Structure 1
Amino acid sequence: MPTKDRAKAPWLPPRWFIHLAWKVHRGAYRAFGGRIGLWKPRPDKWGTLRLTTKGRRSGRPRGVIVAYVEDGPHLVTLAMNGWGEGEPAWWLNLQAHPEARVHLVNGRRAVRARAATGEERARLWDRWRAIETNLDAHAARRPRETAVVVLEPLS
């Protein structure tokens, strides 16, 4: 018999649905030439950007749409892989080649990626936690710590 005190993990759609939703999102972005599919973050909601990395093995451009928040001039995202195991390919690509491009609703820019550590990571994680109330429970599904990725603008 289940224990009454056991905390129930928050619901998460099946992985196939998460992947399908992001593919549809990316397809809409492409079909409309980038006119839809990206939005700016608000204080209580994340935004979306298109990140173009260099493939770590192929060297070819690889694009993905990710959620982000702003931290001054920096853009901050989570390498969560739909809360599944393993690292997302875009994060592995950035670890091999940290320079990338982002397409935001208000333009494009070149960035350099790095993982936040220490106090910065804790501060940025808290920022995400304020937006996503189940962040810690979802992150606990992963076998390793979820990287907080900072995209710093290149001059």
Structure 2
Amino acid sequence: MDLMRAADRLWPVLNRVAKGHTAVYRATGGRVGHRFPGAPPMLLLDHVGARSGVGRTTPLVYVQDGESIVIVASKGGHPKHPAWYHNLRANPDTTIQVGSERRPVRARVARPDERGRLWSKAVATYGGYQGYKERTEREIPLVVLDPRSGARAPDHA
């Protein structure tokens, strides 16, 4: 069995783990799930389905870049982009939870002039991204979450 077929079989399990992670993160106000010993920091990304319109939440590794946050649409080196990436392209205004803080943000794909610097920061935060890049033929998008001034995050997604 090739690596991608094995990965496709693993996604349902990973989705269940992500739902549990999200539930614990929210229930503890980010005290559990934001940081684990020896692991990069995690946030919760709220996003709306591009076709379904259904609200979803996904835990993701993040990189702080000034006032903005960067997330990596790697999907573990899978040949296709993650669903949340397509959802953010369709609905870029969203919220994130970083620890106990909920923030309104606007998503955008990193510009070519910032991509190299941001990729280096992402790999320094989580070295696995480099292996994902080598595993796939697609360019892995870097998504910048810029603060939305004047917007207020909802109490809960």
Query: Scaled by the length of structure 1, what TM-score is found?
Result: 0.78
- The CA deviation at 1:87 is 0.8
- Contact 1:37–1:48 (Cα < 8 Å) also in 2: no
Pick one of 136, 139, 144 that aligns with 2:138.
144
- Contact 2:60–2:71 (Cα < 8 Å) also in 1: yes
Alignment coverage as a number of residue pairs: 143
**Structure index of larger Rg:** 1
Using a 3 Å threshold, how does the CA distance of structure 1 residues 86 and 112 change in structure 2: closer, same or farther?
A: same
2:124 maps to 1:125: no
Q: For residue 29 of structure 1, give the secondary structure of its aligned residue in structure 2.
A: helix
2:43 maps to 1:63: no
- The CA deviation at 1:123 is 0.3
- Contact 1:18–1:82 (Cα < 8 Å) also in 2: no
- Contact 1:100–1:111 (Cα < 8 Å) also in 2: yes
Using a 3 Å threshold, how does the CA distance of structure 1 residues 32 and 76 change in structure 2: closer, same or farther?
A: closer
Q: Which runs of 5 or more residues in structure 1 are unaligned?
A: 1-13
- Contact 1:101–1:109 (Cα < 8 Å) also in 2: yes
Using a 3 Å threshold, how does the CA distance of structure 1 residues 78 and 117 change in structure 2: closer, same or farther?
A: same
2: distance between equivalents of 1:153 and 1:38? 22
Root-mean-square deviation (CA, aligned residues, Å) is 2.7
Q: Which runs of 5 or more residues in structure 2 are unaligned?
A: 1-5, 150-157
- Matched letter for residue 102 of structure 2: R
- Contact 1:109–1:153 (Cα < 8 Å) also in 2: yes
Structure 1 segment 16-95 matched on structure 2, within 5 A: 16-17=9-10, 20-21=13-14, 23-30=16-23, 33-35=26-28, 37-39=32-34, 46-95=40-89
Task: Give per-residue Cα distances to partners, 1:40-79, cap 9 Å, x unaligned.
Answer: 599x953111111121112221211111010111111100
- Contact 1:38–1:104 (Cα < 8 Å) also in 2: no
Greater helix proportion: 2
- Matched letter for residue 125 of structure 1: W
- Contact 2:25–2:34 (Cα < 8 Å) also in 1: no
Identity among equivalent pairs (%): 31
Task: Give per-residue Cα distances to partners, 1:21-57, cap 9 Å, x unaligned.
Answer: 4532431431574315532599x95311111112111
2:103 aligns with: 109
Using a 3 Å threshold, how does the CA distance of structure 1 residues 108 and 75 change in structure 2: closer, same or farther?
A: same
